[in-house]
Amino acid sequence: MTTKKRLLLTVDGKNYDVLVEDDGTSSVTVVVNGKKIAVNINEQAATEQPNAAPVVSETPQLVQAEEPQKKVQGSGSVVRQVYAPMPGTISSIEVRPNQKIAKGDSLCHLEAMKMNNAIHAPEAGIIVEVLVVINQTVKNGEVLVVYESR
Amino acid sequence: MNLADLATLIQAPYHLTPGHLVMMAVGLLLIYLAVSKEYEPVLLLPIGMGAVLANLPLTGITDEHGLLGMFYQIGIETEVLPLLIFIGVGAMTDFGPLLENPKMALLGAAGQLGIFGTLLFALFLGFPMNQAASIGIIGAIDGPTSIYVASLLAPELLGPIAVVAYSYMSLVPIIQPPVMRLLTTKKERQVRMPYQAREISRRVRVAFPICVTVLTSLIAPVAAPLIGMLMFGNVLRESLVVPSLVKAAQNELINLATLFLGLTIGSTMTAASFLTMETLMILGMGLAAFVMDTVAGLLFGKLLYVLTGRKFNPLIGAAGISAFPMSARVVQRVGQETDDQNFLLMHAMGANTAGQLGSVVAGGVVLALLT
């Protein structure tokens, strides 16, 4: 049996229209702003932390990370995203998950209009997830990196 | 065989003058800059080689029936070579950033004010009108337009103007930033401008070059070859139906035209025409024109900063010149050194594209007024 649930979420000032299609298996189909993403469910997280849904739907890979709940619950820290400021191609990636970053550190490089632009960390924190790979074409506003601010 | 015939083999060295030697040294310097420093090698290397060839005595290579002399008559006196280059430039230009943000056209216009400022200054220094106008065009840092206007108005200055225009083109990242820092406050440079991508339909993309051609040609008919070829190349590009022609225009056509143009311009660099006070003055005024264009763009940017309630970053004004995409990159770089979260590149590209168009239109206006 397939259940559908539509969520209108605002995360970090950005609006998301999320449609979750659950067919009862360990994976669900999530449509974020019209973009279809297959997501595996961490059963524990799904049952114990139903409120974690916004994080699940928004950054699907986060679900597969070891302990997504902790990151949300951790005192004073907030999970934030770094967006592509313009369309382009990822030319290099300088950070890995769990890496500590300082404000101004270069996270990755985005080549746009034949110019290689460093994407800098807006604040200090720890990298949660890198959502792009080298040579990936990204759209304006696409999430590049998720980090937990300190 | 007569022994005296052998003498003809060593005749040429006796005809070498100090002027020849100095001009060959200038040619070698250009070759050095092109090869070792990669300063606009695509043009400066052929110019350098042309200068060396033209200053070897007794070759007759620049005479009416000499090889380079014929290139000059066929390619430059007829204006054909620079115009072929414009087809290629048009095929390479994406007016998208400008169409996404049409108000950037204002900056492309403001960036041309230095041209007219320099023109007045050159007149003041005693240059005749045709030469003054040709020198002013350097300010837009548009090599092909500078060459085209000079070949029509002041062919005697073609060598120095081409060399100066292309030299400054490679100096954009050195000359612009200090002017930009000097004329803007930190607060102004920190203005962030989020970028909103907008889809431009193919219909608009094809219609734009045609409309510009028709409108500018009705206003300044003598500019029709210049704008017409630029926009012809652009129509090919945006039509999406002739990829092979676009590829030819972007590569073979523009490269061959540049090759012959550079070599031929180099061959006009003789001691009599190049080793003059005027060349030095053109060097100085070209720089003044370039700085004035940058200043005019920045001041206009500051005006927009005020008019928009501090939402417009005035640095973008500096990109309203023709040096594409160097100038837009400089804006991005100077913006980021003040605030590493600021990305002005796409806005600056809009202004830069407008500058490319603006300098060609300015060239056309100058021609319309003077011919």
Average pLDDT over residues A23-51: 62
What number of residues does chain A have? 150
User: What pLDDT is recorded for position B9?
Assistant: 79
| Residues of chain B contacting A86 with CB distance shorter than 8 Å | 195, 197, 343, 345-346
- Give the global pTM: 0.79
Nearest to A104 among B328, B340, B349 (CB): B340
pLDDT > 60? residue B327? yes
- Please, what's the b/e burial string for A44-83 (b: 16 or more CB within 10 A of its CB; e: otherwise)? ebbeebeebbebbbbbbbbbebeebeebbeeeebebbbbb
Lowest mean pLDDT among A2-6, B23-27, B68-72: A2-6
Average pLDDT over residues B147-172: 92
User: What pLDDT is recorded for position A13?
Assistant: 64
Express each pLDDT in A66-105 by its tens digit.
334 344 444 567 889 999 999 999 999 999 999 999 999 9
User: What pLDDT is recorded for position B88?
Assistant: 96
User: Residue A45: which pLDDT band, with cuts at 50, 70 and 90?
Assistant: very low
- What whole-number percentage of chain B has pLDDT above 90? 84
In whole angstroms, what is the distance from residue B326 CA to residue B208 CA?
A: 24
- Closest residue, chain B, to A106 (C-alpha): B340
| Residues of chain B contacting A114 with CB distance shorter than 8 Å | 325
In whole angstroms, what is the distance from residue B167 CA to residue B29 CA?
A: 12
User: What pLDDT is recorded for position A53?
Assistant: 40
User: What pLDDT is recorded for position A73?
Assistant: 47
Which residues contact residue B239 at a Cβ distance below 8 angstroms, ignoring those fewer than 6 apart? B206
If you compute the radius of gyration of chain B from its CA atoms, what whole number of angstroms results? 22
B260 vs B10, more confident: B260
User: Residue A63: which pLDDT band, with cuts at 50, 70 and 90?
Assistant: very low
User: Which structure tokens are listed for B239?
Assistant: 């039509």
Express each pLDDT in B112-131 by its tens digit.
988 888 899 999 999 999 99
pLDDT > 90? residue A14? no
Nearest to A18 by CA among A42, A62, A53, A48: A53
| Residues of chain A contacting B195 with CB distance shorter than 8 Å | 85-86, 140
Nearest to A113 among B325, B336, B340 (CB): B325
User: What pLDDT is recorded for position A76?
Assistant: 65
pLDDT > 80? residue A15? no
Average pLDDT over residues B38-67: 93
User: Residue A20: which pLDDT band, with cuts at 50, 70 and 90?
Assistant: confident
Contacts of B188-191 spanning 24+ positions with Cβ under 8 A: B188/B302, B188/B305, B188/B313, B188/B314, B188/B315, B189/B313, B189/B314, B189/B315, B189/B334, B189/B335, B189/B338, B189/B339, B190/B338, B190/B339, B190/B342, B191/B305, B191/B310, B191/B311, B191/B312, B191/B313, B191/B314, B191/B342
ipTM of model = 0.71
Phi, psi (rounded to 5 degrees) for A87: -70, 150
pLDDT > 70? residue A58? no
User: What pLDDT is recorded for position B208?
Assistant: 97
pLDDT > 70? residue A51? no
Express each pLDDT in B216-265 by its tens digit.
999 989 999 999 999 999 999 999 999 999 999 999 999 999 999 999 99
| Residues of chain B contacting A104 with CB distance shorter than 8 Å | 340
- Please answer yes or no on whether A117 and B340 come within 8 Å at the CB atom: no
User: What pLDDT is recorded for position A75?
Assistant: 52
The verdict on A69 touching B (C-beta cutoff 8 Å) is no
Query: What does DSSP assign to residue B221?
Result: G
If you compute the radius of gyration of chain A from its CA atoms, what whole number of angstroms results? 16
User: What pLDDT is recorded for position B315?
Assistant: 97
User: Residue A9: which pLDDT band, with cuts at 50, 70 and 90?
Assistant: confident
- Please answer yes or no on whether B345 and A118 come within 8 Å at the CB atom: no
pLDDT > 60? residue B106? yes
